[in-house]
Structure 1
Amino acid sequence: MYEEFYDFKERPFQLTPDPAFYFESLTHKKALSYLGYGLNQGEGFVVITGEVGAGKSTLVAHLKQKLDAGRMTVGEVVTSALDDEEMIHVAARSFGLDISGGDKAAALAAIELFLHEEARSGRRVLLIVDEAQNLSIGALEELRMLSNFQLGSHPLLQTLLLGQPEFKQLLAQSDELEQLRQRVIASHHLEAMQPGEVEPYVSHRLNHAGWKGRPGFGNDIWVKLHKATGGIPRKVNQVMTRLLLLGAVEERDKIDADMLDTVIEEMVGDAAPAEEAASRPRPDRDLPAADAIARAHDEARRPSPEGQVAPAMSAEARDKGLLDHQIDAIEAAFADRDKHMEALRREVEKLGKSKASGELPEDIGLRLASIEARLDEQERSLRHVLTMMIDYFESQGSRAAA
Structure 2
Amino acid sequence: MYDRYYGFGDRPFQLTPDARFWFESKTHRTAMAYLGYGLSQGEGFIVITGDVGAGKTTLVGHLMRSIDPQRLHALRLVSTQVEGEDMLRLTAQQLGLATEGLAKAQLLDRIERTLRLHASEGRQTLLIVDEAQNLPLSALEELRMLSNFQNGGQSLLQIFLLGQPEFRERFETSQHLEQLRQRVIATHHLTPMEAEEIAPYIQHRLKLVGWQNNPSFTEDAWAALYRHSGGVPRRLNVLAGRVLLHGSVEGLSRIDGATVDLVAADQGEERAAAAEGAPQRRRAADAAPPTEAAPVRIVTAQDPALLDRIAELEERLDEQEAALRRVLGLLIDWVEREEPATQHYAR
- TM-score with structure 1 length normalisation? 0.69
Which whole-Å deviations, capped at 9, do the CAs of 1:112-167 have from their partners, x for residues lacking one?
11101101111100000001001111111110010011112111000000011111
1:203 equivalent in alignment to 2:184:
no
Matched positions, count: 291
Q: Give the aligned partner of residue 20 of structure 2.
A: 20
SS in 1 for 2:125: strand
Which whole-Å deviations, capped at 9, do the CAs of 1:183-232 have from their partners, x for residues lacking one?
00000001100000001100000001110111111221111111111100
The change in CA–CA distance for 1:74 and 1:279 in structure 2 (over 3 A counts) is farther
Q: Give the aligned partner of residue 227 of structure 1.
A: 227
Which whole-Å deviations, capped at 9, do the CAs of 1:210-261 have from their partners, x for residues lacking one?
1011111122111111111110001000001111111111111111222212
Paired residues of 1:74 and 1:95 also in contact (CA < 8 A)? no
Paired residues of 1:229 and 1:309 also in contact (CA < 8 A)? no
SS in 2 for 1:220: helix
1:305 Cα deviation after fit:
3.8
1:104 Cα deviation after fit:
2.7
SS in 2 for 1:239: helix
Cα distance between partner residues in 2 of 1:101 and 1:276? 51
Q: Give the aligned partner of residue 108 of structure 1.
A: 108
Cα distance between partner residues in 2 of 1:83 and 1:240? 40
The change in CA–CA distance for 1:221 and 1:59 in structure 2 (over 3 A counts) is same
Q: Give the aligned partner of residue 133 of structure 2.
A: 133
Cα distance between partner residues in 2 of 1:142 and 1:20? 34
Query: For structure 1, which segment, 158-167 or 261-270, has the greater mean C-alpha deviation from structure 2 after superposition?
Result: 261-270
1:43 equivalent in alignment to 2:48:
no
The change in CA–CA distance for 1:227 and 1:279 in structure 2 (over 3 A counts) is farther
SS in 1 for 2:16: coil
1:94 equivalent in alignment to 2:94:
yes
Which structure has the higher relative contact order (CA within 8 Å, separation 6+)? 2
The change in CA–CA distance for 1:220 and 1:308 in structure 2 (over 3 A counts) is farther
Cα distance between partner residues in 1 of 2:81 and 2:210? 40
1:384-395 maps to which residues of 2 (within 5 A)? Answer: none
Q: Give the aligned partner of residue 182 of structure 1.
A: 182
Paired residues of 2:45 and 2:160 also in contact (CA < 8 A)? yes
> Radius of gyration: which is bigger?
1
Cα distance between partner residues in 1 of 2:246 and 2:102? 55
The change in CA–CA distance for 1:106 and 1:63 in structure 2 (over 3 A counts) is same
1:309 Cα deviation after fit:
4.6
1:216-255 maps to which residues of 2 (within 5 A)? Answer: 216-255=216-255
- Partner amino acid for 1:248? S
Cα distance between partner residues in 1 of 2:24 and 2:92? 33
Cα distance between partner residues in 2 of 1:18 and 1:279? 36
Cα distance between partner residues in 2 of 1:115 and 1:214? 52
Q: Give the aligned partner of residue 313 of structure 2.
A: none
1:273 Cα deviation after fit:
3.3
- Partner amino acid for 1:84? G
**How large is the Cα RMSD of the aligned pairs?**
2.0
Cα distance between partner residues in 1 of 2:302 and 2:265? 17
Cα distance between partner residues in 1 of 2:155 and 2:301? 42
Q: Give the aligned partner of residue 152 of structure 1.
A: 152
SS in 1 for 2:20: helix
The change in CA–CA distance for 1:111 and 1:277 in structure 2 (over 3 A counts) is farther
Which whole-Å deviations, capped at 9, do the CAs of 1:88-121 have from their partners, x for residues lacking one?
1111112222213333333222211110110111
Cα distance between partner residues in 2 of 1:183 and 1:220? 47
SS in 1 for 2:13: coil
Cα distance between partner residues in 2 of 1:198 and 1:20? 18
Cα distance between partner residues in 1 of 2:126 and 2:177? 21
Cα distance between partner residues in 1 of 2:204 and 2:303? 29
Q: Give the aligned partner of residue 170 of structure 1.
A: 170
* Structure 1 gap segments, 5+ residues each: 283-301, 311-402
1:276 Cα deviation after fit:
4.2
SS in 1 for 2:219: coil
Cα distance between partner residues in 2 of 1:269 and 1:107? 53
The change in CA–CA distance for 1:139 and 1:251 in structure 2 (over 3 A counts) is same
% identity of equivalent residues = 49
1:306 Cα deviation after fit:
3.7
Q: Give the aligned partner of residue 375 of structure 1.
A: none
Cα distance between partner residues in 1 of 2:279 and 2:147? 41
Q: Give the aligned partner of residue 64 of structure 1.
A: 64
1:55 equivalent in alignment to 2:61:
no
Cα distance between partner residues in 2 of 1:48 and 1:221? 31
